[in-house]
Structures are given as C-alpha cells and as structure tokens.
C-alpha cells in the first residue's frame, strides 16, 4: 500500500504526539457541497450512489479537494447490513430511510443470517479499495457501521420514529427475542468491519445513533454489551499499523466511563457533553472526538472560529483530541464555513501541542 503522507489523525487516536489537532467532520461528503449534489443527481437515487463504487469513491474524495482535512470516511450508509439481510432499504424524500420489510416476530429474527460480505456487501469493499488507490496516501480512510441497537431500531420500526415504541415494546416484553436479534447483528457488524479493514480501511467508527434513547440499565444490556462484543472481535492491525476504533453514542455523555472500558481507542462526544469534564472523567484511557454543535456552522465565519477556539481550550494541552462536530454537518451549511472551521482548528491548535 502507498505510504501515508498525513497520519496525524491515526496518531491522535493512539494518543501519540501530533503537531496540531486533526480534524474531520461527520457527513463531510454530503449535501452541503454542490459537487455532491451533482453526483447525487447523476446517480438518480441514494442507494445507487452508495452501491456504485466509482460514485461512492468520488463523493468520498470531494471534501478532500476543498479542505485540508486529516481523514476521509468512506461514503456509505449505516443501514447496508439490514439491506443485505433482505429488508429492502430505500429512501423517501423528506422522510429518510425506509424498509420494505420489518422485523416483528421470532420467526423474522430466526430467518436472519450474517450476510456474505463480498457478495451482498462487496460494493462497499470495492469502494474502499478504489478510494484507497485514488486517495494515494494523502490521509487515512475511515470505515464504519451502525451499532446493533441502532440497526435494530430501523429494522423493527421500518424507518425513523418519534417514540420508538415497537422496538422498546419488544425490548421490555420479549427481551430474549431482542437479544437474539442484537446477537446476529453484532456478528454481522464484526464480519462487515473486518472486511472493510481487509479492503483497506485504516480506522473504524461505530455509530450508536439511538443508544441515547435508553435508560442506563438498558443501555448497558442492549447497546453497550453488543458494541463491546464487536470491539473484541475486530482485526486491530493492518498494513503493519494498529487500526484504531472510535465509538460514538449520540446522547451518551452520561456513560463515558463505561464506554471507555470497551477497548476502544476513542470516544465521540456530541455537543451536549462538556469536553473539559469528559477529559477529566476518562483521563488518559481514550482519545476524545468532537464536539462542536453542527448548527454553529449556520452562524458567521467569525463565530465559527470563536467556537472552535473554545473547544480547543476546553480540551487543553496535549494529544488525544480529534476535532469534529457533535453530529453530522447539516445540508444547508455554507461550504465556506466548513473551510473556516478546518483552518481554525489547524491554526489555533498548534500551541496546545508544543
């Protein structure tokens, strides 16, 4: 493989010294970029964009051409695994992801099997292999998956939900069924992420988008336990380097200590968690990623820069911080504000690493 020219992101995840804080942004390849919208229109629909390696590679690389980012994340969707299980993923304008089939009965769960990664999900691996070639060692490439709990939320509800009544009903009424579903999903995520690593992903991120819906007891039992299983099953070295893993539970700031004990290298923080307090709570156990409110990017460029400086100061001196938003970038953001963010992180973080 081509030698990595900028390994700042990987070094920070491993708590090694860096010259400045690395930065990338969740959903950095997306609708806020006019060039993305052009490719999306060419593809015709979102799933075609995801499942065509050449198009997925192109939109993965687009933000790197605009911004001095320290990592790329492969363009895909967190719901590829349930789609490969035969649930029929599609996207409805204004409503987001939907499934043609849902999981409702013990028989539905029993019929699920771990997909063949190079068969049903080979398009993701092809996109990773192509992107690694095209990126030519400029920055590392991140692979990712949704967490079992998050995947199960969509599989049972059939899409997003205001109250997630169906999945919570199954969790409370039929916990054995819920655990059976989460177990096959955990095995699938392990196989999926290991296939991504073998295809060339140099770091891994696990998105637990809906873990924050749960009580502490149920978070530990139905979300964290399965992410811990995944983390213990991952290949942690490739190309002679460690493959770092980041865990992000949206709304999970109250559980940082437990998350830090899972074996991950890094924890993602949303904007509701104070980064100074988070660092005090986890100490040197893990790197922290985050955590600017994505809506700051709707403000002026000067405001963006001030907010960047606050977060850098909040983390303080030393390595172990990857700058990011507290969730994905919003579609209506001015791309110039993204440029201001990236430049501000690199400019103002240097004193913290001297």
Active site residue 340: no
Options 40, 132, 279, 340, the catalytic residue: 40
> Which residues contact residue 306 at a Cβ distance below 8 angstroms, ignoring those fewer than 6 apart?
none
> Rounded to whole angstroms, what are the CA distances from 243 to 61, 195, 238, 320?
21, 13, 7, 16
Q: How far is CA 212 from the centre of its chain?
A: 15
Q: Which of 77, 83, 126, 270 is catalytic?
A: 77
Determine the Cα–Cα distance for residues 73 and 202; give it in Å rounded to an integer: 10
Q: Find where tokens 């997925």 sit.
A: 56
Distance CA(354)–CA(342), nearest Å, equals: 20
Q: Is 40 among the residues known to form the active site?
A: yes
With residue 287 as reference, give the H or E element that holds it: strand 287-289
Calculate the CA 304 to chain-centre distance. Answer: 23
298 is catalytic: no
Binding residue ranges for substrate: 27-31, 77, 154, 209, 327
| Tokens encoding 322 | 């990857």
Q: Of residues 36, 67, 154, 226, which has the active-site annotation?
A: 154
In angstroms, the CA 176 to CA 182 distance is 10
Question: On the CB side of 133, how many CA atoms lie within 13 Å of its CA?
Answer: 9
- Give the residue numbers of the binding site: 27-31, 77, 154, 209, 327
CA distance linking residue 37 with residue 59, whole number of Å: 9
Between CA 308 and CA 333 the distance in angstroms is 16
Residue 31 catalytic?
yes
Does residue 129 carry a catalytic annotation?
A: no
Catalytic sites, residue numbers? 27, 31, 40, 77, 154
């Amino acid at each position: 493989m081509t030698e990595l020219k900028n390994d700042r992101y990987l070094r920070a995840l491993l708590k090694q010294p860096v010259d400045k804080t690395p930065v990338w942004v969740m959903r950095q390849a997306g609708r806020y970029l006019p060039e993305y919208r052009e490719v999306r229109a060419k593809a015709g629909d979102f799933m075609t964009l995801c499942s065509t390696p050449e198009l997925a590679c192109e939109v993965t690389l687009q933000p790197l051409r605009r911004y001095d980012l320290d990592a790329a994340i492969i363009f895909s969707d967190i719901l590829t695994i349930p789609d490969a299980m035969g649930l029929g993923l599609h996207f409805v304008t204004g409503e987001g992801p939907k499934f043609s089939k849902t999981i409702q009965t013990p028989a539905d769960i029993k019929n699920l099997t771990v997909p063949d990664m190079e068969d049903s999900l080979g398009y993701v691996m092809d996109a990773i292999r192509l992107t690694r070639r095209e990126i030519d060692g400029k920055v590392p490439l991140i692979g990712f998956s949704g967490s079992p709990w998050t995947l199960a939320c969509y599989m049972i509800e059939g899409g997003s939900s205001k109250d997630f009544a169906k999945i919570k009903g199954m969790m409370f009424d039929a916990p054995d069924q819920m655990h059976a579903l989460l177990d096959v999903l955990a095995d699938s995520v392990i196989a999926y992420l290991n296939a991504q690593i073998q295809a060339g992903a140099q770091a891994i991120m696990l998105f637990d988008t809906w873990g924050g819906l749960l009580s502490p007891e149920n978070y530990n039992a139905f979300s964290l336990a399965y992410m811990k299983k995944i983390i213990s099953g991952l290949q942690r070295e490739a190309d002679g380097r460690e493959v770092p893993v980041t865990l992000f539970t949206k709304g999970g700031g109250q559980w940082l200590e437990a998350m830090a004990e899972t074996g991950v290298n890094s924890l993602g923080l949303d904007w509701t968690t104070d980064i100074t307090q988070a660092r005090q709570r986890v100490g040197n156990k893990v790197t922290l990623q985050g955590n600017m409110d994505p809506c700051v990017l709707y403000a002026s460029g000067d405001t963006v820069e001030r907010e960047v400086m606050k977060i850098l100061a909040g983390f303080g001196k030393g390595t172990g911080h990857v700058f990011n938003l507290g969730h994905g970038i919003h579609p209506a953001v001015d791309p110039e504000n993204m440029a201001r963010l990236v430049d501000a992180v690199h400019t103002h973080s240097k004193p913290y690493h001297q």
